[in-house]
Structure formats: C-alpha cells, structure tokens
Amino acid sequence: MDPLIILLVVMVAMMFFMTRGTRKRQKEMMSFRDSMAPGQRVMTASGYVGTIVEIGDDLVTLESEPGSRTQWVKAAISKPYDSVSTAMDTETHSETDGQEQAGFVVPDDVSGLITKPGEDTTRRDEDTK
C-alpha cells in the first residue's frame, strides 16, 4: 500500500478517537440540561450553587438563599450539586493532606529556608550518623 494512504487512514482514525470523548460529554450535558427540574440543586460553570426555581426556554432561575434569585443561561449550568459528595471530595483531595501524608513540612514563612553567611548548612539528621 501507498504510505500516504496509510498515513491518511491513521490521521482520520486519530481524529475520530480524539473527538469521540468530547461528543460523549456533550451528549451527557445535553441530557442533563433537558432533565433539569425545579427543586434540583445545581452548580454553574463559575461555581455558583443554587436551587432551580423556574426553567424557561433558554433561562434558568436559581435561588441560593431565600429571596435571592438570579437568572442564568441554560448553557451555564454545568452539573448537579450534591453537597455531601462535594465536601468529601474537598476533604480527600486537600493539598495539605497530601503533603502531610508524604512527609512534607510546609513552613509558615521563608525565614527557615534562608541560610545566613557562616551558618552550618549540614542537615540535622546527618549529625546523628
């Protein structure tokens, strides 16, 4: 076979597989937006969390606190909001947790990182050997 044809087939296959995931996510978002209902808690793409009060053709009215209503374009609603799973995700993926588990110590200031002229720079754990 001609190498040009093989290259063309490989490029078309790569493009197909690269766009497949994107199309799948778009379909999921469309089905989520079509299934939105009043009373459902959602999060916008900018992080605003509210309860759906009213749904129009293109606009969704969200209420974050009683009496505080805002209108959003449907496309701005990114996902349903579940406060329990979101709080658990935040706790399990905290940066400080990962640092403490890995044995990192993060100083409160940089004064401990700066060495002064004439200061002994040997590590403290090397002194015990």
Question: How confident is the model over 42-92, as pLDDT tens digits?
Answer: 999 999 999 999 999 899 999 998 889 999 999 899 889 886 554 445 454
**Does 48 lie in the same domain as 13?**
no
The token duo for 98 is 């990962």
pLDDT band, residue 21 (cuts 50/70/90): confident
> Residues of 72-99 as b/e, b for ≥16 C-beta within 10 angstroms?
beeeebbeebeeeeeeeeeeeeeeeeee
**Does 91 lie in the same domain as 74?**
yes
- Its pTM surpasses 0.75: no
**Does 41 lie in the same domain as 64?**
yes
**Does 54 lie in the same domain as 31?**
no
User: Residue 87: inside a domain, yes or no?
Assistant: yes
**Does 46 lie in the same domain as 85?**
yes
Mean pLDDT of 103-119: 67
Total structural domains in the chain?
Answer: 2
Q: Which domain holds residue 17?
A: 1-35
Convert the pLDDT of each residue in 91-109 to its tens digit: 545 455 544 555 666 666 6
**Does 46 lie in the same domain as 28?**
no
Q: What percent of the chain has pLDDT over 90?
A: 35
**Does 86 lie in the same domain as 42?**
yes
